[in-house]
Amino acid sequence: MRKLILEIEPNENWAKLLSPIFENFHRFELLEMMRIDYEEGVKIGLMECHTKRNIPIHEAKIPDNVEILSVLKSENRKHTCVVKIQVPKEFTQMLTEFKLNLIWTTPSSVAEDKRIYSCIGDQENLMKFVEKIKKYGKVVNMHFQKAVYQPHDILSVLTDKQREVLIAAKKNGYYDLPKKISSEDLSNKVGISKATLLEHLRKAEERLLANILAGY
């Protein structure tokens, strides 16, 4: 199994398809793909939505085929949401073309002038994806790396709060060397006490390690 990270500049037609949503949003970053129904043209994912202005996300205009099912957290222009996308009928064929034996993962993001896709699979299916995506834009960067896939979402072993805190810690550089944010500043960002934050992180780390090292 290998992991592919692909950066695409969309062609005119593909850019036009998504242009209405960028009236109010700067970009969308995938945190977790929750469901893809290729036949119905439905995608549901946990996403970080970045608005262009510092406005409540429910006031941001979005196309009819995009629905924000739940807002988990909002901080200035960044909103963590569960998003449902109904692909327009005229583009469902495009979606079904990518019904390959691949696991969609991170980093993946969509911006007005750039798309980043990450997926895990064997060499044959990864190269099929690369060839198919070329019809919709220009490949500007492509990177392969070794990947080990576990047949379940490893974060599913965490509680919702543990997952939220752990993702926030990763995104804000808490685990970088040297750290980009202190535990005190991170606790302020997520709106909980420092002691509670450290407790959530400790329990999350213990659960992840126990899951990864099960049987050892």
R_g of the chain computed on alpha carbons? 18
CA-wise closest residue to 2 among 109, 97, 115, 102: 102
Residue 47 has a pLDDT of 92
Average pLDDT of the residues in 176-198? 93
Q: State the pLDDT confidence band at 192, using cuts at 50, 70 and 90.
A: very high
Query: CA 129, 130, 133: angle at the middle one, nearest 5?
Result: 80
CA 81 to chain centre: 10
Q: Where are the domains of the chain?
A: 2-146, 154-212
Q: What is the number of other CB atoms lying within 10 angstroms of the CB of residue 186?
A: 22
Using DSSP's 3-state secondary structure scheme, residue 105 falls into strand
Highest mean pLDDT among 7-11, 36-40, 170-174: 7-11
Reported as a single tens digit per residue, the pLDDT across 123-157 is 999 999 999 999 999 999 999 988 755 545 667 77
- Tokens for 148, please give them: 């080990």
Domain 154-212 has CATH 3.30.70.260: no
Check residue 91 and report its DSSP letter.
Answer: G
**What is the average pLDDT score of the chain?**
87
Per the model's pLDDT, the better-predicted residue between 84 and 54 turns out to be 84
* pLDDT > 50? residue 15: yes
